[in-house]
Every structure is written in C-alpha cells, then in structure tokens.
Amino acid sequence: MLGSALRQAVQLILGLDSEVLRIVLLSLRVSATALAFSTLMGVPLGAWLGLRRFFARRLVIAAIYTGMGFPPVVVGLAVYMLLSRSGPLGSLGWPWVPGLFTPGAMVIAQIIIATPLVAGFTMAAVMGVDPNLRQQLISLGATSWQATRAVLREARQGVVVAVVAGFGSVISEVGAVMLVGGNIEGSTRVLTTAIVLETHKGNFSLALAMGLVLLAMTFAINIAVLRLQGKAYG
Amino acid sequence: MGEPVYRLLGVTRVYGARKVLDIASLDVYAGEILGIVGPSGAGKSTLLRLLGFLETPTSGAMAFRGQRVNGGAPSLAVRRRVTMVFQRPVLLSDSVYANVAYGLRVRGVTDARERVEKVLDLLGMLPLRKEDASTLSGGEAQRVALARALVVEPEVLLLDEPTANLDPAHVAIIENVIRQARERTGMTIVLVTHNVFQARRLADRVALLVGGRLVEVAPTKTFFESPSAPETCAFISGEMVY
C-alpha cells in the first residue's frame, strides 16, 4: 500500500495537481502573512528586550517563553472564542475583524503562535552580542540610536534564524488552523488540515503527496536555519 | 599650563555601598600624557570612564574645558571630542577597514578613505584592511581598536591598558603610535596602565591611584626618582600596596 501510495503521491506533485497546488498556495499565503506581522512585532520587541533593562522585563520574558511553548490547539481555541459571533471581538461586528472559518482567522492564530518565537529568538540573538560593544561604539562618537543599529546589525543572522523558525512553526501546525479555519474545501483548507482529512478518508496517496510537500518545505527551512546558525555561531 | 582640559574636585563614584573612587582634586592639562598607575581594583578604569563621559560622578564637580559636565552625559558635540580605547576591545563583525571607519561614518564624514588608510598604515594594519575583524589576533585587534579611535582625531584620547597581554613587538608598535599621535596633533592622552615601566616610557606626569584615592601626582621624573609618598616608593619598587 505504501509503495503505490508513494508512487501516486509523486505523480500528484509532478503533475501539479490543481487541488494540491491550491492547498499549498493557501498554506504559504496564510503562514507568510502571519509571519510578516509576527516579524514586524516580534523583531522590535525582541530587540527591545535584549537591549533595555526595565521594570517587569523578566515578567515579559517569562510571558514570551511561555508563548514559545503554547500548544497551537490552545491558541486556536482562544482565537475561536474571541472571533465567534458571541465572542468579545466577533460580537463587535467590526468589518476588519475576520470572521471564523476564514483565512484571516487563521492568520490571527498563527500570528499569536509565531510572534513569541520571533521575539524570543531575536532577544537571544541581541543578548548574544557582546554588551561592551555598545559602550565602545558610544565612546567612538555614536549616538544611542546609531549604537543600537550597530548592535542589531551584529545580531542580524540570529534575527534571520528567528524569522525562519517562526515560519517553520506556523507552516507545520495543525491544531489552530483546524479549529479557526475549519478545513473548508477551496477556502480554508491548508496542507496540515488536508493531510488529516485525507488520511481519515483513507486517501493515502493524496495525504502522502501533501505530506511530502510539507516535509520538503520544512526540510528546506531547517537546512536554511542550520546554515545561518553555522554562520552566526560557527 | 593654562586652562586644564579636565578639572575634578571632590569627585566620588559609589557602586552600591562601595566607594570605588574618591578624587580630592585632579587637573589634566592640554597636550600632556598623564599616566595613571595603581594596583588592580584601585579605580583606574572607573576614573577613565568618568573622563570618557561613560559614567557620571556620584558627587563632586567635574569640568571639561571649563564647562561643568557632572550633571549627566554632555552634548554629543562635547562627547565626540573624547574617545576611549578599551582594555578588551570589541570589534564589529565586519572588515578591518569598516571598523576603523566607524567613528567617521557616525559623524557623517564622506571622504573617510584617505584618513582610514593613513591610520591603518601608521599601525602596520594596511595589508589587513579587508580581513574580517573576527579573524584577527589579540594584538591585531588592539591595533584596530587604537586605529578606530585615532582616526577621528579626538581632542582627548583615553587609553585603558592598551597593551595588556600583548607581546613586546605589538607593545612597541602601539607605544610608538601613541607618542607620534601626541606629537603630530597635540592631543591630550590619559593612559591607565598597571605597568609602571610603560608609564615611565610614555607619560609626562604620573598619578598613583590606590583604593580609589590619588596618592601622588607628579612629573614622571619626580614620580620615579624622588617620590614623596611612601606608597609610591613601594609601588614603583615592585612591592604591592593595598
């Protein structure tokens, strides 16, 4: 069974099966959008936590570490309750709040999953820069902002690792998108939820085809992270 | 000797419950090389960091060119007239050239190339200008650190153990460049060193700092040949003072 399923799976991928292609593209679109927002919020937050010492900083860091380990399905549950018609956001009826079972709802859940990861890894990268560097640059005549920029530049490879790790986490999660997206064909079906469905239906070759695509994508991402980490720390 | 570059009166610096610096009075004059010696933990680096505006005195009055500067960091323009070379330099993960050009870049100097190459040449680092700074040896890194400070032609150059842990060849290069820089530009140099021989070779005046207090400040010849304080005698003869 595995052999024929695998053969069919490769055929589906090579033949650019339209359904597989649509699902792959939606997965990429949702996760890339979420990642863009997570990067915009997580990188400055991580840099700030890494550079500044302030009241309640440890509390914020503890919250981020907790967020890095959030089970996606719990995030999905929280977003579900927020966005449902009777929930605190869904009941407002604001046009820019996405409804449940839309790609927008999936993006929101994935932002919540990826942002702590991006912020946490960015913070670690910034804290990894020698703390004496900043003062030495100040002494060379840099303004506070110029010195900050130089420190961030020193941490640049670690920041890229943070962003890539954030992408890896959202492209492969299933719990949140299943709950808030609903796995609706042609609308909110992404790779991970499709794999679950096709497996339940016994449609192993299609599930396997999408599994291979997902595997190839996460593999490529991890290779990229390892290479970047090698450059940053090797 | 005219208006001093720095004038310190009753300056203290306290960390928690520990008073690490207690300077009754100290003047630093324009164009001189002032050597500061003393055992480790005497407050030498703290004094240098005060002069570099990287820390503020806990109490007392500090003036730079007649202007009071003890109320927090002075303006950027004043700050940029003073540059410090640290005992353990941290370089940018970039080329040697980019590291040396940094001070000029933040000042918006566009035609940096000639100045950077001149300073690199002075320190014998011109052939390594394209190397990544992370590949340099300790002595080379220390030369880059001196180069990046000299290139901005500061009015005051603060040196914190610029040759600690370096081999004699590197020490000679760095000491020569320090001497030349003063002769060429007339910059004021404050040199912290645990090495009394280095102070004797380079400084016009030498100050002995023990336990945060200035024990003696005297012209180099007097300091070494007829010191007035018994601690100075003990220190220069190699007996440690505490």
Q: Which two tokens stand for residue A211?
A: 């599994």
| pLDDT values of chain A reduced to their tens digit, one per residue, 234 residues | 678 878 888 888 888 888 888 999 999 999 999 999 999 999 999 999 998 888 899 999 999 999 999 999 999 999 999 999 888 888 888 888 899 999 999 999 999 999 999 999 999 999 999 999 999 999 999 999 999 999 999 998 899 889 999 999 999 999 999 999 999 999 999 999 999 999 999 998 889 989 999 999 888 887 887 787 766 554
CB of B54 within 8 Å of a chain A CB? The answer is yes
pLDDT in tens, B66-111: 888 876 678 999 999 999 999 999 999 999 999 999 999 999 998 8
CB of B119 within 8 Å of a chain A CB? The answer is no
A135/B149 Cβ within 8 A: no
CB A80 within 8 A of CB A179: yes
Q: Which helix (H) or strand (E) holds B191?
A: strand B188-192
Residue B106's closest chain A neighbor by CA?
A142
CB B123 within 8 A of CB B166: no
* CA atoms of B141 and B146, how far apart (whole Å): 9
Q: Which two tokens stand for residue A161?
A: 């690792």
Nearby residues of A35 by Cβ (< 8 Å), 6 or more positions away: A110, A114, A118, A163, A166, A167, A170
**ipTM associated with this complex:** 0.92
Question: Which is it for the CA torsion B8, B9, B15, B21, positive or negative?
Answer: positive
B88/A132 Cβ within 8 A: yes
Q: How far is CA B190 from CA A14, A216, B67, B186, B203, in A?
A: 72, 60, 19, 13, 9
pLDDT in tens, B103-160: 999 999 988 999 999 999 999 999 999 999 999 998 899 999 999 999 999 999 999 9
Would you report the helix, strand and coil content of chain A in percent, each value rounded to 5?
80, 0, 20
* CA atoms of A29 and B70, how far apart (whole Å): 56
B80/A141 Cβ within 8 A: yes
Q: What is the pLDDT of residue A91?
A: 85
Which residues share a beta bridge with B59? B12
- The CATH superfamily holding the domain A2-227 is MetI-like (1.10.3720.10)
* CA atoms of A211 and A170, how far apart (whole Å): 15
Which residues share a beta bridge with A230? none
Average pLDDT over residues B23-29: 96
